[in-house]
Structure 1
């Protein structure tokens, strides 16, 4: 008798907990939280760009310190095309040139015009092209997070290339490139750019070996950049949808109220019995069995011994109650785990497992039971997916 009262009291406590405010609160609002730095990766054909620019550059070679800075500046151009793989990392292929200007002592690329007779220096001029591949790091997006409407971004880059001059004496050397690509947003498709780059090559590139270990160019070019394919990035989103389950909770409340009344009646029986030994409880004919929630491990439909104990008490009340009462066995699976077909199968097998225990082990008439299953569902109680891998048995 006391054991029955303990079990019924435990079921009563569970029912009260399920009925607390918040567990059955209706909420059809979709909550969206957006990650600051995370974006959805686009297709390969998206986020491409191409651009062109013009500006100025100066060449630093063996004797350029003897030449005035203003005399060394020449026009420059550049063309490039590339792709952003993320808002923070991209690559491009580029070519820039087209002329270098300096001074020479050995006559390499000399124009024949004396620049400084006292040092035997002649004006030097020759055409060249620098083909290079660069990796760009958009520090604005990497440090501040992606903002599609950001006006200014800066992207340091490093690259390796191949620099050639086809004028005698010809030269073909590997170049190292380091620069800063500044971008100013005009609209969704066009940006204004300022590209500042240093390029370094071997000392022999200008046809004259001197005291320097290397030579190179410093270039600054203003340009325009066109973006094609999908131009923006979609931020990753986490969406939570809470469903209205007030109907089920109200039904549970009604059953809990009935259970509370039955519990009070049992307590009165014990109080009136005094020294008399009570060997059984009296169950009224119209007594409803309290709802039973049986949970299962992931991908399992085996009923545990602990669940069988609770089902035994549940079955005893059904057998002693009104034979016209019907009970519904509903199986569920966790929507967040497994495919839709797997969850449909699991929810059916779980409901059938509870049905078999009640009928075959505890003698509940099959006519009083009906089996249903819902497949994979979102979290039904307390935002806990374990409570969705379950079977609920409740009076219809």
Structure 2
């Protein structure tokens, strides 16, 4: 009867130990959504751009329509900085510099606003005349831009051309006498032609309106305006791409060879169990005089972590090692426990990590043997040098020592 109980305990431990040794392989598959209308909004510091442009504009004042078109053309400039929040929505802020070539009326005693003093002689006037007008003003503006190509066709990073209508609000300043400061509003059409991943050629067509006072010549018009066309460059700062939404699938696979071996072992244990039942049935009339129960307890694996570049065992870890040592000494004496030291591969050179992992394993060995009297015959020391993040992608858990019994490996 004593032999039957001992065999039953051994079979139970064998099943558990073998079951824990089956390897599990995990395959991770990441599938990106190919819908061009779906992207992940990037962080605040992504998708910034800086632009500059130069071209010509034409001003619409009270008398400018009397001037020939070519005489009204004047240079315009703009610099701006902006950010795209989605492939279809961007904002930017900038400063535009406008020169105005126009006409102002000479009333005799009143000095015309921004007049050059030169009479415009390409038209005839009876009793009064018009003089040429020149001045500059600056428009500090903020624009909201809608990329209709991306909105309709979806985001495509290699697209050559896109067009963005925009709305603008600004503040115009004339620093020449008579000085003026006026709120401006405008609309525009921003055309972008891709040169490289980080550079676009742009054509910016902008219409800006302000109060009739801005040119110092108040007439029947309620608003004056400026129409400009600027050719420029836009530099796109890193990072400019938009990530696609993705789905991650993790598939777990068991090793077929180990599974087959486990099935064979289970069948063998089932046969042994039937044999035990028969022996127990035959032993019902026997008197049990001595029952021996062997200690089958195992110490669970233990992990001790260390600070960077250290192999000193902390007080807290020593307490846990004390409990671990107590279980080792109360369990079977033929069980060997393997002490394996590790270091973080991302910190230090391979030579330092080799030395450090060995020192950490030896430190745990010394605590178990010298402080808690664990037999040296039950301990085996090993070290692995620097390793990648072993658990939870956390480098701190790689600066460690793991102690485990040979039955659980």
With structure 1 as the length reference, what TM-score do the two structures score? 0.58
Residue 167 of structure 2 is aligned to residue 163 of structure 1: no
Aligned-partner SS, 2:133:
strand
Cα distance 1:234–1:99, how it changes in 2: closer, same or farther (>3 A)? same
Cα distance 1:30–1:282, how it changes in 2: closer, same or farther (>3 A)? same
- Equivalences for residues 128-147 of structure 1 within 5 A: 128-140=135-147, 147=157
Match of 1:75 in 2: 73
Match of 1:280 in 2: 293
Aligned-partner SS, 1:80:
strand
CA separation in 2, counterparts of 1:346 and 1:254? 40
2:20 aligns with one of 15, 19, 41? 15
Cα distance 1:186–1:368, how it changes in 2: closer, same or farther (>3 A)? closer
Match of 1:286 in 2: none
CA separation in 2, counterparts of 1:131 and 1:353? 73
CA separation in 1, counterparts of 2:186 and 2:318? 67
CA separation in 1, counterparts of 2:245 and 2:318? 35
CA separation in 2, counterparts of 1:172 and 1:219? 19
Q: Provide, for residues 91-133 of structure 1, a one-character-per-residue CA deviation record: whole Å limited to 9, x for no partner.
A: 333212222347687773485889998xx99656521212233
Residue 41 of structure 2 is aligned to residue 37 of structure 1: yes
Residue 327 of structure 2 is aligned to residue 312 of structure 1: yes
- Equivalences for residues 61-140 of structure 1 within 5 A: 74-84=72-82, 88-101=90-103, 108-109=112-113, 123=130, 125-140=132-147
Aligned-partner SS, 2:233:
strand
Gaps of 5+ in 1: 284-288
For residue 254 of structure 1, report the CA deviation from its aligned partner.
11
Query: Aligned residues, how many?
Result: 356
Alignment check: 8 A CA contact 1:76 1:219 kept: no
- Equivalences for residues 1-396 of structure 1 within 5 A: 8=13, 11-12=16-17, 15=20, 19=23, 23-25=24-26, 36-38=40-42, 41=45, 47-59=49-61, 74-84=72-82, 88-101=90-103, 108-109=112-113, 123=130, 125-140=132-147, 147=157, 149=159, 151-154=161-164, 155-165=166-176, 170-185=178-193, 187-188=195-196, 189-201=199-211, 203-208=212-217, 215-221=223-229, 223-227=230-234, 233-234=240-241, 272=279, 276=288, 278-281=291-294, 293-294=301-302, 302=317, 312=327, 316-317=331-332, 319-321=333-335, 327-330=337-340, 340=347, 355=365, 359=369, 361=372, 363-365=374-376, 368-372=379-383, 377-378=388-389, 391=402, 393=404, 395=406
Aligned-partner SS, 2:147:
helix
For residue 370 of structure 1, report the CA deviation from its aligned partner.
0.7
For residue 259 of structure 1, report the CA deviation from its aligned partner.
9.5
CA separation in 2, counterparts of 1:51 and 1:153? 16
Alignment check: 8 A CA contact 2:79 2:94 kept: yes
Q: Provide, for residues 6-64 of structure 1, a one-character-per-residue CA deviation record: whole Å limited to 9, x for no partner.
A: 99489559626x63xxx32477x998899643279479xx95432112243423x5x99
Aligned-partner SS, 1:320:
coil
Cα distance 1:160–1:349, how it changes in 2: closer, same or farther (>3 A)? farther
For residue 225 of structure 1, report the CA deviation from its aligned partner.
1.2
Cα distance 1:95–1:209, how it changes in 2: closer, same or farther (>3 A)? closer
